[in-house]
């Protein structure tokens, strides 16, 4: 098994935040997932921008880490039925989506290095809630969380235990 020292993540699904922890001690070595989650965060629309892979450099302190656990948070724009002002979603409804996590080495010039590990899993992603013109304004396509109105929904997409 190859240890991961420094790596970049690329996830085929609009990743916003991630946590990395080694499975042996389960100590978190990097975390930028806010708690509690807000209704939404800036994101990349893979379909609209024809994006195939997205990620960023995560520089960890020295030391070997094998089999990290990675958690991601995403924005869900999908409605169960309709869209925009006609968006209608049954509470708790989800759709299945295969998501690929790639972990890369980083070259000395900070460019993308060799692929260290890859894993594809299918996650159940919640649809965004129904449009709420009562609380968000007539003609609005946004949903209401009890405090604010949002166009999309933030969700914890899933967790990988990556075997490297």
Q: Domain for residue 71, yes or no?
A: yes
* Domain contains 144: no
Residue 12 lies in a domain: yes
Of 39, 50, 103, 49, the closest CA to residue 73 belongs to 39
pLDDT of 18 reads 47
Is position 18 within any domain?
yes
By C-alpha distance, which of 41, 54, 96, 72 is closest to 156?
A: 72
Q: Is residue 121 part of a domain?
A: yes
The pTM score is 0.70
pLDDT for res 62: 72
At residue 93, the pLDDT reads 95
Closest CA to 75 of 46, 112, 104, 49: 46
What is the model's pLDDT at position 109?
92
What is the number of domains present in the chain? 1
pLDDT mean values, one per 10 residues, the chain (164 residues) = 32 40 58 81 81 79 74 86 94 90 87 88 90 95 92 76 58
Range of the domain at 31: 7-78+98-127+151-161
Residue 87 lies in a domain: no
Q: What is the pLDDT of residue 17?
A: 46
- Asked whether residue 93 is domain-assigned, the answer is no
């Amino acid at each position: 098994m190859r240890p991961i020292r420094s790596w970049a993540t690329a996830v085929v699904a609009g990743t916003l935040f991630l946590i990395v922890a080694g499975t042996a001690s389960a100590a978190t070595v990097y975390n930028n997932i806010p708690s509690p989650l807000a209704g939404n965060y800036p994101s990349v629309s893979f379909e609209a921008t024809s994006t195939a892979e997205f990620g960023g450099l995560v520089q960890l302190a020295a030391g070997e880490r094998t089999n990290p656990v990675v958690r991601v948070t995403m924005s869900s724009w999908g409605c169960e039925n309709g869209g925009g002002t006609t968006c209608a979603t049954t509470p708790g409804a989800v759709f299945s989506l295969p998501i690929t996590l790639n972990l890369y080495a980083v070259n000395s010039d900070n460019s993308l290095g060799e692929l260290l590990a890859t894993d594809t899993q299918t996650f159940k992603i919640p649809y965004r809630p129904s449009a709420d013109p009562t609380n968000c304004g007539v003609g609005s396509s946004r949903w209401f969380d009890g405090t604010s109105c949002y166009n999309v929904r933030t969700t914890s997409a899933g967790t990988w235990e990556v075997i490297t």
